[in-house]
Amino acid sequence: MLKLIRFNEAESYQPQKGWKRASLMAEKEISIEHFVKPPGHASPSHHHQNTQVLVVLKGRITVETDSSLVEAGEGDAVYVSPGEEHVVTNPLSESAIGLDIFVPGRSFDFWRKRGNSGPA
């Protein structure tokens, strides 16, 4: 099956003020979420049972686990193992933009269901 998801028609929401997410693909096998992370924003510490690949399209992102910290710039990708607790931060004073790819796909309302409790 061939399927087109137009960005301006994609389901979207803000888990926290200024942190925007849009669902570009929401299939059982794979999901892709576009995100805009505001300056200085850090996601609450979390994990999921999906493999995650985070691709930075603009700006910089840091991803921190219990054992390591990596900083990724435009065009870089970060692999996060299933079940690994992590925090994703935008260390810059401008918004960062990227894609989160999950295999298998995850529910787009992950943050709503989780009841995020991190910084606004």
Question: Phi/psi of residue 110, each to 5°?
Answer: -50, -50
Query: 99: which DSSP letter?
Result: E
pLDDT of residue 118: 41
pLDDT tens digits, residue range 30-58? Answer: 999 999 999 999 999 999 999 999 999 99
Position 2 in a domain: no
In a domain? residue 37: yes
Give me the number of domains the chain comprises. Answer: 1
What is d(CA 15, CA 71) in angstroms, rounded to the nearest whole number? Answer: 23
Q: State the residue range of the domain holding 83.
A: 11-108
User: What CATH number is attached to the domain comprising 29?
Assistant: 2.60.120.10
Residues 6+ apart with CB under 8 A from 81: 51
Q: pLDDT digit string (tens) for 43-102?
A: 999 999 999 999 999 999 999 999 999 999 999 999 999 999 999 999 999 999 999 999
User: What amino acid is encoded at 61 in this protein?
Assistant: I
Assess if residue 114 is contained within a domain: no
Placement of tokens 């269901």 in the chain:
113
